[in-house]
Amino acid sequence: MAHQLADETLAEILADSLAVDDADFAVTDAKVSPFATVRESSSSVLAVCKRWARVGTPLL
């Protein structure tokens, strides 16, 4: 069923899991990066299949 989704719809779904909060991205004064505490990369969802990688990579 997922193969029936339009690329635009899939991109909207992936955008939620790939989004990085602007405040976290802009942190420069923290002793530990906010990304250091993340156990799994949000971009790991792009490894599901080639289509997800193609659609989701521009969202990084």
> How much is the pLDDT for 49?
93
pLDDT in tens, 6-47: 999 999 999 988 887 777 777 777 787 767 676 677 788 899
> How much is the pLDDT for 53?
94
Burial classification of residue 34, based on how many CB atoms lie within 10 Å of its CB (0-12 exposed, 13-18 middle, 19 or more buried): middle
Residue 27, phi then psi, degrees to nearest 5: -65, 125
pTM of whole model > 0.75?
A: no
Burial classification of residue 22, based on how many CB atoms lie within 10 Å of its CB (0-12 exposed, 13-18 middle, 19 or more buried): exposed
| Distance, CA of 32 to CA of 27 (rounded, Å) | 10
